[in-house]
Structure 1
Amino acid sequence: MLTALLGATGVLALLTLVPGPDMAIVTKRAVTRGRADGLRTVAGIAVGLLLWGALTVAGLAALLAASADVYLVVKLAGAAYLCWLGLRALLRPGAEAADGRAADGRPTGERSAGAGGAWRTGLVANVLNPKIAVFYTGLLPALAPPGLRPAVGMALLVLVHVLLTVVWLGTYVYVLSRAGRFFARPRVRRALDRTTGVVLIGFGVRVATS
């Protein structure tokens, strides 16, 4: 069982390292608002994964994955949310950073709405991503260690995936925060906002058309 668990952890680690919408969202929040905001975004992402994991273990995610109409609604809602985040970054490049960071790139004191916004951004981006439901219901049963009940095995793998995600994105946030002075430059902030805006819109279009 231990060998199977280690193999499943390796597969989940490789999938976690693949860049996706989560990384783009975390990049924007961490660079424009600071390390604490980036970590709150990661926390929201983790809660979103836990919600999908709970639905998977309960069997509800399988119903979503099997229902073309429901899947389409959730998919389009998620795509629209990513595109909205991208458009906001494109239309207001550097605006959030100017409100929330000092000249040296450190936070000047976040507003309560900004702190909650980071957590909600990560949560909503994952809750509106039906591909996680397909990923969990399609892959986790095959990776679940033998010797455990299927529900217990899948729940264990969900926790492993959440832990890997938190460690990876948390480390990424820390690396970004170390380069705070560089990202604090107005020209760099504007360029980063435009880049992440285009990336998020690209992910939104990809989600909508996949």
Structure 2
Amino acid sequence: MLTSALAFASVAALINITPGLDTLLVLRTSVSQGRSAGLVSALGILTGCVVWGIATAVGLTALLTASRVAYDALRIAGAAYLVWLGASALWRSRRGGWDEGAPEVEVETRGRWAAFRAGLGTNLLNPKAGVFYMSLIPQFTPDGESVFTMTLLLTAIGMVELAIWYWVVSGAAAALADRLRRPAFRRRMEQVSGVAFVGFAANLLADGGRTA
């Protein structure tokens, strides 16, 4: 079990630090709203990982490869959500300030809830995340070991690695934003992330590599 866990940790670490949608979300949120909001968005992503891990442990993610309808429904919903996130980011970049007339505590509360919701939504509405868990984790489950237990253990290992990675990313992004202190930088980040979210949505809609 220990050998399998260490092997999985090595592979998962390489996958986790590869730039992707989730890392972009944490990066963008940390730049535009500060490190605390970036970490809240990371918490939403990790919550989604917990859901996918449990779903894999009980066999629910098998539905994504067994049913094209289920996979496509989640894929389209995920793409629509990414388009909404991208459009919102582009709108904010054109509009300028964020809720300038609202009380500071209210803005902070809404911002953190939105950050958590974005992290959770982008993770749960991505069918590739479910397929990833279902295809990778079984390869590191030794014969004779409980599939349920090993799945939860490997999911926990992946989450710890992700949490460390997002801690580093959010800290670096927030520090960079504080150093520059330019509204133009924040607007540019919103523009870049908005286009990237729409690009991820297009890629998700164009995905045809799954076998039913």
| TM-score, scaled to structure 1 | 0.90
Q: Counterparts of 1:161-200 in structure 2 under 5 Å?
A: 161-200=158-197
**Structure 1 contact 140–157 (Cα < 8 Å) conserved:** yes
Aligned partner of 2:110 among 110, 113, 118 = 113
**Structure 2 contact 63–70 (Cα < 8 Å) conserved:** no
Answer with 43-52 or 145-154: which moved more: 145-154
Matched, 1:99 2:98: yes
Unaligned runs of 5+ in 2: 208-212
Matched, 1:26 2:26: yes
- The separation in 1 between residues aligned to 2:65 and 2:199, in whole angstroms, is 23
| TM-score, scaled to structure 2 | 0.89
Q: Counterparts of 1:1-150 in structure 2 under 5 Å?
A: 1-93=1-93, 98-99=97-98, 109=105, 110-146=107-143, 148-150=145-147
3-state DSSP of counterpart to 2:145:
coil
Structure 1 residues 94 and 145 mapped into 2: Cα distance closer, same or farther (>3 Å)? farther
Q: For residue 31 of structure 1, what is the amino acid of its counterpart? A: V
- The separation in 2 between residues aligned to 1:55 and 1:173, in whole angstroms, is 28
Aligned residues: 203
Unaligned runs of 5+ in 1: 102-107
- The separation in 1 between residues aligned to 2:32 and 2:99, in whole angstroms, is 7
3-state DSSP of counterpart to 2:61:
helix
Q: CA RMSD of the aligned region, Å?
A: 1.9
Q: For residue 11 of structure 1, what is the amino acid of its counterpart? A: V
**Structure 1 contact 94–186 (Cα < 8 Å) conserved:** no
Aligned partner of 1:158 among 155, 159, 169 = 155
- The separation in 1 between residues aligned to 2:188 and 2:143, in whole angstroms, is 49
- The separation in 2 between residues aligned to 1:75 and 1:31, in whole angstroms, is 28
**Structure 2 contact 30–36 (Cα < 8 Å) conserved:** yes
What are the Cα deviations for residues 1-37 of structure 1, in whole angstroms up to 9, with x where unaligned?
Answer: 3222211110111110111111121122111111110
- The separation in 1 between residues aligned to 2:156 and 2:81, in whole angstroms, is 26
3-state DSSP of counterpart to 1:93:
helix
- The separation in 1 between residues aligned to 2:95 and 2:182, in whole angstroms, is 12
**Structure 1 contact 82–204 (Cα < 8 Å) conserved:** yes
How far did residue 74 of structure 1 move? 0.2
How far did residue 157 of structure 1 move? 0.7
